[in-house]
Copies of this chain bind each other. A is one copy, B any other.
Amino acid sequence: MPDVSNQPTLWEGKYLRVTARDKWEYVTRRGTSGVVGIVAMTDDRRLVLVEQFRPPVNRNVIEIPAGLAGDVKGSEHEKLADAAARELLEETGYAASEIVYLCEGVSSAGLTDELITLFRATGLTKQGKGLGDETEDITLHEIPVAEVESWIARQVRQGKMVDLKVYAALRWVVGA
């Protein structure tokens, strides 16, 4: 994480903070130790995707399961792989027998210091309904890997948006 000494806080809200580095304005998520995304594939080669309303874009967005690490009081030092397993279970109801680190990368380093760590989850078994915690309203989709792009195109025609990490996810499941 960046050294934030000598950087003025320009604004602070409940969830976000705006900081300046050499006049460059950027936003930080408050109260989290990391962000994880999960590339989850079922044994019959379906990619597990979630759909939820995202206030910033005022639309439903198709995404890979994802969430914040260390955002629960008492679990500030939650390991990223543990957060990935927890978020996958919370959002999709799937437990994974294998969670493998894929990569970490920034989402938009011109405006935020957000760094996302991606894991691949396989050996999935249904443990519950998923669909998020009490603050989330999630629709679950399981799409055959070979059909994901045509399926996304249909969702977009219906007015939904897609998170670019879904395309990154395809990198690790197509042909895998």
List residues of chain A with CB under 8 Å of any chain B CB.
2-3, 10-11, 13-16, 18, 21-27, 29, 54-59, 61, 63, 103-116, 118, 152, 156, 161-168, 170-171, 174
Question: Does A162 contact B106, Cβ atoms closer than 8 Å?
Answer: yes
Q: Contact check: which of B21, B61, B111 meets A27 at CB < 8 Å? A: B111
Complex Cα gap A169–B130 (Å): 31
Cβ–Cβ < 8 Å partners of A116 in chain B: 164
User: What would 14 more interface pairs be, CB under 8 Å, given A107-B163, A107-B164, A108-B108?
Assistant: A11-B13, A13-B18, A14-B25, A15-B25, A16-B111, A26-B56, A27-B56, A103-B164, A105-B162, A108-B112, A111-B114, A164-B168, A167-B171, A171-B171
Complex Cα gap A55–B8 (Å): 13
Given A11-B11, A115-B161, A167-B171, also A21-B109 (CB < 8 A): no
How often does this chain occur in the complex, in copies?
2
Question: Does B109 contact A54, Cβ atoms closer than 8 Å?
Answer: yes
Complex Cα gap A24–B13 (Å): 10
Q: Contact check: which of B10, B21, B105 meets A163 at CB < 8 Å? A: B105
List the B residue with the shortest CB-CB distance to A37. Answer: B164
Given A10-B11, A107-B107, also A112-B56 (CB < 8 A): yes
Question: Does B112 contact A27, Cβ atoms closer than 8 Å?
Answer: yes
Question: Does A111 contact B163, Cβ atoms closer than 8 Å?
Answer: no
Cβ–Cβ < 8 Å partners of A56 in chain B: 2, 21, 24, 26-27, 109-113
Q: Contact check: which of B13, B24, B161 meets A109 at CB < 8 Å? A: B161
Complex Cα gap A89–B107 (Å): 23
Question: Does B103 contact A162, Cβ atoms closer than 8 Å?
Answer: yes
Given A29-B111, A164-B165, A168-B171, also A55-B22 (CB < 8 A): yes
